[in-house]
A = this chain, B = another copy of it.
Amino acid sequence: MQRRKFLTAAVTGLAAAPLAAPALAAGEPEIKWRMASSFPKSLDTIFGGGETIANRVAAATDGKFQIRLFAAGEIVPGLQVLDAVQNGTVELGHSASYYYVGKDPTFAFDTAIPFGLNARQQNAWMYHGGGLELMREFFKDYNIRQIPAGNTGAQMGGWFRKEIKTVEDLNGLKFRIGGFAGKVLTKLGVVPQQIAGGDIYPALEKGTIDAAEWVGPYDDEKLGFNKVAQYYYYPGWWEGGPQLSVYVNLAQWETLPPTYQAILEAACAEANVTMVAKYDAQNMPALRRLVAGGTQLKPYSKDIMEACYKAALELYDETAAANPKFKTVYDAWKLFRDDQHLWFRVAENSFDNFVFAKSAAAASGAAATSTPEASGETAGASAAGGWTRAAIAGVGGLAVGYAGGVAATRARAKPAS
């Protein structure tokens, strides 16, 4: 670092100047903070969001502001990160706020609520729709400043040991499911379990639980769920765009130089956009591998979707009636959501559905043979304009796309068959 040495010399050369000499001022202080993550080190996506932040902060401060990241269980269990930041055990946390709905269901809005916003819409609400202001006011009671710092995109609907065809099949099911969605499913007879990511596999393997959802193909494959459950459902209707948040102990935040505050906030925004990009880039190759390995990919039935939707709306009304904080946020959130859905149906969704239908048609044409996986699944497309409905006619692409992937995967595995 020749430049640094040069500048050090330049500053020391100013020793005879008055004490309050401006320009070429001193650097900021050296600070070492600890960040407790709710996630296991094995997940380079969601645990990796914390690493993105720590690395960027270090690079931006020439290593003077150092954040040491700890995986779930290293300092506190994954589901106690909020408490650890609140009581000052650590200065920082990286978590999903809906883990703490047991304290107050209002936490769910900081992550996702069932049938809520997708990732883009969650960001719109947070950064430019009043969400951040509402959430920061709420988090003050927990001595925390929260900063959006990651998103997984719409998640999968979970792993099941047996097929779930009807609403009745949910009754009595012990299902590891995060956040507010557990309360929705309770209305349909499910016995929800809140278990941190790293602890799900043994519970599913031992049969302590019947089903589990985590995130999506890339993470779920790493956690090995496909080895102990065959059926993989979609979509994860309870988290269309779940946000991860950084928690900063409020008293510690106020001691931070404004430059470090600015750097930390920018690094969190960066983690927000790059985490979902990593999920998006990695999920399809992982899903191909899973399907090639025997995983049965299934959409939730219309009946289940409708029953869950109805239960969710009931739960929101009941919760709002009982909890003024929840009501304040929910009322504002609902208006914003309505506008978001209306707007996305115009340009965004009609673009998506057209190109996805074309992609499905191309995949369908590429894979000439039909497959067992093709039954029960149809290609995606429709939307705001009339042309999109016509575009889906006769396209049987989604499962065929996977089958093509499976064939390709198998071909790569057996080059000399």
Point out residues on A near B: beta carbons under 8 Å.
3-5, 7-17, 19-21, 23-30, 56, 59-62, 115-116, 118-121, 123-129, 153-157, 216, 234-237, 240, 257-259, 262-263, 265-267, 269-270, 272-274, 276-278, 280-285, 287, 297, 299-303, 305-306, 309, 336-356, 358-360, 362-363, 376-392, 398, 401-402, 405
Contact = CB atoms under 8 A, between A and B. Distances in A.
A257 B383 CA distance: 49
Given A9-B20, A305-B354, A341-B356, 16 more contacts: A24-B27, A24-B30, A60-B266, A123-B273, A124-B278, A128-B281, A153-B347, A154-B352, A155-B347, A234-B350, A235-B350, A287-B343, A300-B387, A342-B398, A344-B356, A377-B385
B235 A347 contact: yes
Contacts of A347: 153-157, 216, 234-236
17 contacts: A11-B12, A11-B26, A25-B62, A26-B27, A27-B27, A56-B266, A120-B276, A124-B278, A127-B277, A127-B278, A128-B278, A154-B348, A269-B270, A284-B340, A300-B387, A342-B398, A382-B383
The 7 closest A-B pairs by CB, nearest first: A15-B15, A302-B387, A299-B385, A382-B382, A7-B26, A341-B359, A124-B280
A contacts with B: majority SS: helix
Contact of A352 (B24, B118, B401): B118
Given A26-B7, A358-B115, A385 B123 contact: no
A415 B379 CA distance: 47
A375 to B, nearest CB: 10
A124 B119 CA distance: 13
B274 A128 contact: yes
B5 A348 contact: no
A19 B29 contact: no
Nearest to A338: B359
A352 to B, nearest CB: 6
Contacts of A27: 7, 24-28
A342 B154 CA distance: 14
Contacts of A389: 378, 382
Contacts of A24: 26-27, 29-30
B23 A30 contact: yes
Contact of A340 (B5, B156, B280): B280
A180 to B, nearest CB: 15
Contact of A273 (B19, B240, B272, B297): B272
Contacts of A257: 3
A258 B7 contact: no
A297 B342 CA distance: 13
Given A14-B12, A123-B273, A342-B401, A383 B384 contact: no
Contacts of A19: 5, 8-9, 12
A4 B362 CA distance: 62
